[in-house]
Structure 1
Amino acid sequence: MSEYTLTAGTGNTSAAFFDLDRTLISGSSAFTLAIEARRAGLVPTRQFAKDATGAALFKLFGASDNTTDEVRKRILGAVEGMERDGLVALNAEVLPKLIDRVRPEAKRLVDRHRRAGRDCFIVSAAPQEIVEPLATALGMTGGIGTRSVVVDGVYTGELDGPFCYGTGKVDAMKELAEWNGYDLEQSYAYSDSASDLPMLEAVGHPVAVNPDAALERRARADGWPIVIFSQRTKSMLRRTLSGIAATGIGVAGFAAGRTIGRPPQRRFRR
């Protein structure tokens, strides 16, 4: 079994947690990983097609509690039987592509949180072997990804720690918060998907980024900030949305994107 370790913080009492796909980066990290794994001969063409279809359907229709098992099976099944060294070696090709897809507004936001004295983490269902190096490359404190059991250098397809999806993200965040002394009520979380509602509800400052319909409804109902980031590959600016505000953690706060329906009393605190 691989050793499960927690990333040490820097002594700060609050943190900022970022979902990866379609929040910190545009598009899907899983699809990028699958392409490179196929090119390296680590994934058969048939398995690649299956994984690509699953990722596409997930992107189109999102996820619910009923699909969590399927997502877990897809993530773990993608690495089952793969040599760990082979997956780690893919970072040479995968990381530059993911870094190129980091939204400029998101990177500025990470930098603002760091200057405000908050530790910053990626929280993603993607493999830890990808998430952690990406976080390091972006100057973040660490990455929380899905860890798989490794026996004799090969992934078994079994979990080694929380599955970082849905409520599993909260389990990992709480474990990290206890380890590093973070106050989650003073912390921030960012995501685009209603599947991350548990993650957003776990902190005192949830932020919806280019939200899907379900998350947008919840954010509007509860007065959560809604931030619209552009994408490098295609525009996701919602020109039809009204009430664009340049207050709070939006344009006036740190010029990281457009903010919609933001209550002025919950400002980005330095």
Structure 2
Amino acid sequence: MSDQPAATPAAPATVPLSQRPLSQRLLATAKHPQFWWFSGHLLTVLGLPHHLLGGSSSAYLRALLGAQLAYGVVLYRQHHGTFKTRGAKAALAQMVSDLNAHYFGLALFFYLAAYPCWPLLVPYFCFSLFHCIGYTRDVLVRTVFPSTIPTPVSRILALLATFTTTYQPRALQLATYWEVTVVPVYLVGQVLLWRQAIAAPVVYAQFLLLRYVHSHTTRAACAHVRTVTDRNVLERPSVPAQVKAAYVKARDTIVRVATQRMATAGGRGGR
């Protein structure tokens, strides 16, 4: 018998994730922050139709909670480093111009508010739908089929890619116009009917101001809405003079406030 010590067995090479069992691949995917980002968007996508079709207030709240989760993950990943190295003040200063912070704050306020506002969910739904499609196509499918994607699945992915290319720009445009027209009108109507907190339109107006300052798409939508409204109110003889005067006063006040905010904060183009 040899007096030499037995050789230590070589450590097995780390098995690539793509070659591990499906359960391990799914678990690794679920541990990644991006999965929680996807989960938040999925809650929003499922919550809006559930709320509209069934009148479920819990579905409405889940949709808003999903939005907070999705945008919260992004905010954490983008600003956590600044918070650690430069403090809360610097991180908050960055978040003022971050659209993720705008949408997170809006979702948080209406989550805590006493009354639902379903039109608020439409822009979130538009954003979340295409985020979910992209994550499913780029991550989930490749997690389940790491080497070869079956032909039927490939066809579905091709359809999803075509759907995204065709409808995502339209959905984002719809969301922008919806934000500056439908939601504020609905909120004011709710307040007049005592179905919404008075603070809700004020908070939403602040949100729109932030979007106006930091998003060129919001500014473009506002300019177009103003042009259309001017034409339909000021150029129609059937509209009473008092209504025209009230409209001009309200319009000029909004323009003045937005211009002052732009001059103070400086507009930076965003989504």
Please classify the TM superposition score into its range, dividing by the shorter chain length: under 0.3
Instruction: Kindly name which structure, 1 or 2, has the bigger radius of gyration based on alpha carbons.
Output: 2
When you count helix as a share of all residues, which structure comes out higher? 2
TM-score scaled by structure 2? 0.27
Q: Which has the higher contact order (CA 8 A, sep 6+)?
A: 1
Q: Which has the higher strand share?
A: 1
